[in-house]
Amino acid sequence: MSGASGDAWVEGPDGSRYWGRFGAAGLLVVSPRFEVLLQHRAQWSHFGGTWGMPGGARHEGESAVDAAVREAGEEAGVPAEALSVRFSSVFDLGYWSYTTVVADAAERFAPVVSDPESIELRWVAVDQVDALPLHPRFAESWPGLRSRL
């Protein structure tokens, strides 16, 4: 069981802001067709209008994997029981971290826009991801993630 909600901004020494008092995590789901599930972020959200993976703030004491799977379930209807975690990648600033959890889906499921943070959810062929306007941090991490897929 996880503790207090991490829904709050963390401010870095340089004034930059990151979402998640206890860090954040996102889930990059890979389908059997070698597609990834991407989220078109609502305009009002941080870097709104860009594409990235479902994710969000970790709760106090919550593992990155549990947070990523929980957030993807809340935001995109990702069925946890259909996932097999492949690997994680951590971006750590010392005072804040973001963990990308990469998981294979046993089958291609229909994602569901289930909260106001998403404009759209879409399965995107791995070789077509770069054609979308990506969330800046996801764009930075994508080449390394893609090479590990």
pLDDT at 116: 84
Residue 138 token pair: 């996801």
Expressed as residue numbers, the domain containing 81 is 9-148
- What is the average pLDDT across 48-64? 95
**Each residue's pLDDT tens digit, 7-51:** 999 999 999 999 999 999 999 999 999 999 999 998 888 788 999
pLDDT at 102: 98
Residue 106 token pair: 């046993």
pLDDT at 36: 98
3-state secondary structure of 124: strand
In a domain, 3, yes or no: no
**Percent of the chain scored above 70 by pLDDT?**
99
In a domain, 62, yes or no: yes
Place of tokens 């062929």: 125
SS3 content of the chain, % helix, strand, coil (to 5): 25, 35, 40
Q: How many CA atoms lie within 13 A of 35 on its CB side?
A: 16
In a domain, 4, yes or no: no
Which of 143, 99, 122, 114 lies closest to 31, judged by CA?
Answer: 122
**Each residue's pLDDT tens digit, 97-146:** 999 999 999 999 999 998 888 899 999 999 999 999 999 999 999 999 99
CA 101 → CA 16, 20, 31, 92, 98, distances in Å? 24, 16, 14, 14, 10
pLDDT at 147: 96
In a domain, 82, yes or no: yes
In a domain, 123, yes or no: yes
How many domains does the chain contain in total?
1
Q: Is the pLDDT of residue 83 over 60?
A: yes
Q: What is the CATH number of the domain that holds 22?
A: 3.90.79.10
- What is the average pLDDT across 71-77? 94
pLDDT at 117: 84
CA 35 → CA 53, 124, 128, distances in Å? 12, 5, 9
Alpha-carbon torsion angle 21, 103, 29, 130, nearest 10: 90
**Percent of the chain scored above 90 by pLDDT?**
89
The span from the CA of 34 to the CA of 55, in Å, is: 20
pLDDT at 2: 61
